[in-house]
Amino acid sequence: MKVPLSFKLIIIYTNIKLKIIQLLSPKQAAAIAFKRFCTPYSGKPKRIAPSIFNNANTLNFKFDKLTIRGWNWQPQTSDNKKILIVHGFDSCSYRFDNYIQPLINAGFEVFAFDAPGHGISDGTTINGLQYCNVILEIEKLYGSFYCIMAHSLGGLAAALAMEQMSNQAERKLVLIAPATETTSAVKNYFRFVRVSSKTKAAFNELMFTISNKPVSWYSAARAVNNVAANILWVHDEEDFICAFGDVSPVQQANHKHIQFYLTKGLGHSGVYRRQPVFDEIIKFIKT
């Protein structure tokens, strides 16, 4: 797996910072490590908006003192069904520009928002529970959504949010390389960020205080057990970010409401940009 230079530099800096602090206070070191875990490593680079975003209605709302900004596209002929696009970690809504026009042409009203700490929204960090609550707020303000299409961390957040929504059987959920198990993400994170066992324990305790839930609760695999919506789960077998190995138990559960579309060699971020995957997702939403 090719690791971005920006990520390498951040990890080097974080390890130097934590080396001394965790000797004095594992709890303080855990707080620093958690903030780094929740901070997009690319920051919020200025991006040129794809042309279709210039034709959108702009939206914004307040969430935890942050302004969350997004877009809305209205079809000429509507079937009164709404689609929400949810991007992943260290990404933004612009990355899904090629999905918007086909969905509009199919009669869907399309919504997309940049997550806290991403794109043109406020903030510097994001975590799964916060993202879940942002989606629930979007649902409250602009829903009800017939389909939510979500990638990576957005996939985990969407699964957690859908778990709390009503009329699930009337909805659809597209999970594209979702962050299936947060326990795996944390384990992988600590392969790079070197901390003591005491700091790791404090890290897990800190995550528990956020929602009174253990790290294992932040699981797309767990959440889909409580979701009645029809689900399309897209994943690449060579995804090393949201490891494909975590998907196997979901497959083995043989859920009747979940269908899988698996690829090989497309990776984590490239999977939704390829034409066959694009066609499958659009077909699933329209059918």
Residues 125, 20: Cα–Cα separation, whole Å: 24
Contact between 86 and 157 (Cβ < 8 Å): yes
- Residues with Cβ within 8 Å of 183's Cβ and at least 6 positions away in sequence, in order, are 215, 216, 219
3-state DSSP percent of the chain in helix, strand and coil, to 5: 50, 20, 35
19 falls within a domain: no
- Residues with Cβ within 8 Å of 247's Cβ and at least 6 positions away in sequence, in order, are 180, 221, 233, 235, 260
Domain total of the chain: 1
What's the CATH number where 243 sits? Answer: 3.40.50.1820
3 falls within a domain: no
278 falls within a domain: yes
What percent of the chain stands above pLDDT 70? 98
Q: What is the DSSP string of 129-167?
A: HHHHHHHHHHHHHH---SEEEEETHHHHHHHHHHTT-S-
233 falls within a domain: yes
186 falls within a domain: no
* Structure tokens given for 249: 């138990």
31 falls within a domain: no
* Structure tokens given for 286: 């329209």
* Structure tokens given for 51: 């042309």
The predicted-structure confidence for 72-127, as pLDDT tens digits, reads as follows 999 998 788 999 999 999 999 999 999 999 999 999 999 999 999 999 999 999 99
Q: What is the DSSP string of 88-143?
A: -TT--GGGGHHHHHHHHHTTEEEEEEPPTTSTTSS-S---HHHHHHHHHHHHHHH-
Three-state SS at 201: helix
* Structure tokens given for 75: 């079809």
pLDDT of residue 2: 58
7 falls within a domain: no
pLDDT of residue 4: 65
Name the stretches of the chain with pLDDT < 50.
none
Q: Are strands 57-63 and 66-73 parallel, antiparallel or unpaired?
A: antiparallel
207 falls within a domain: no
Q: Which domain holds residue 171?
A: 38-43+54-181+219-286
pLDDT of residue 3: 58
